[in-house]
Amino acid sequence: MSSVEPSSASRPLRVAGLAALGVAGVALVLGVVTLFANNGTEDPQNGAQPGPTTSTSADPGQPTTSSGDPAPTSTTSAEPPPSTSSSTSQQPTPSTSAGPPPGTSNQPPPNPPKAPVRVYNNSNVKNLADHAAEDLRNAGYPIDEVGNYSSGIIPTTTVYYRPGTDEEAAAKSLARAFGIRAEPRFDGLKDAKPGLIMIVTREYKPGSGGGKDGGNIK
């Protein structure tokens, strides 16, 4: 019986092993190449997908929300605020030249209140003081007393007043109304009680009246 030589029986196994090693080497090389190729194209952050991008067709002047839609804009911002400069500038300014301000009219001042009057006769004309007193009553003046003045001669019919009192304005108003004189009290009348004193002389022309002579000045 013939025996197989160990060298001839192990040769096919050796060739098969070498072939297997070659295939394994080729596979290893391909795996390494593929690994490097994938590492170069993948995102460094564990392959995360890029986030959504906004549309380029949107108005660049409008803000966008996180979802990509343009943010809503206010419709009132497009309307300009109403202007009042034109309306106010065209309104006419009130004119103060049309007339005098209140309280400065050209009307004469009102007459002062008519003070009570004492009427005295300084003439030889009988009842002249009564006639003058009646004229004063008809003009609205209250009469306190009617009498005679015999302490001196008065040159003309005069109404007397106390200086620095309201009697002055009242006396001047009466003098204008009757066409007589108005003067401050003289020494013979200083001590008489307050009020207007009218002393009539013979030139006074009464309009109407009557009565009885009174007493002396008190």
Q: Is the pTM of this model over 0.85?
A: no
Eight-state DSSP code of residue 179: T
Sequence letter at residue 97: S
Tell me the average pLDDT across 60-67: 50
Examine the pLDDT at 189 and tell me if it is beyond 50. Answer: yes
Q: Using alpha carbons, select from 124, 160, 120 the residue that is nearest to residue 143.
A: 120
pLDDT for position 99: 56
pLDDT tens-place string over residues 70-129:
555 554 455 555 555 544 455 655 555 555 556 555 665 555 567 899 999 999 999 999
Complete domains list, the chain, with CATH: 117-200 (3.30.70.2390)
**What ranges in 42-138 are assigned the alpha helix state H?**
85-90, 128-138
Q: Using alpha carbons, select from 192, 197, 37 the residue that is nearest to residue 132.
A: 197
Of the chain, the percentage scoring pLDDT greater than 70 comes to 51
pLDDT for position 5: 52
The region of weakest confidence among 43-47, 94-98, 155-159, 185-189 is 43-47
pLDDT for position 206: 83
Region label for 58, one of left (φ > 0), alpha (ψ between -120 and 50) or beta (otherwise): beta
pLDDT band at 17 (very low <50, low <70, confident <90, very high): confident
pLDDT band at 213 (very low <50, low <70, confident <90, very high): very low
pLDDT for position 69: 54
The region of weakest confidence among 6-20, 59-73, 135-149, 178-192 is 59-73
Tell me the average pLDDT across 30-37: 71
Exposed, middle or buried, 171 (CB in 10 Å: 0-12/13-18/19+)?
Answer: buried
Q: What are phi and psi of 174, to 5 degrees?
A: -65, -40
Beta-strand relationship, 143-148 and 196-200: unpaired
pLDDT tens-place string over residues 130-149:
999 999 999 999 999 999 99
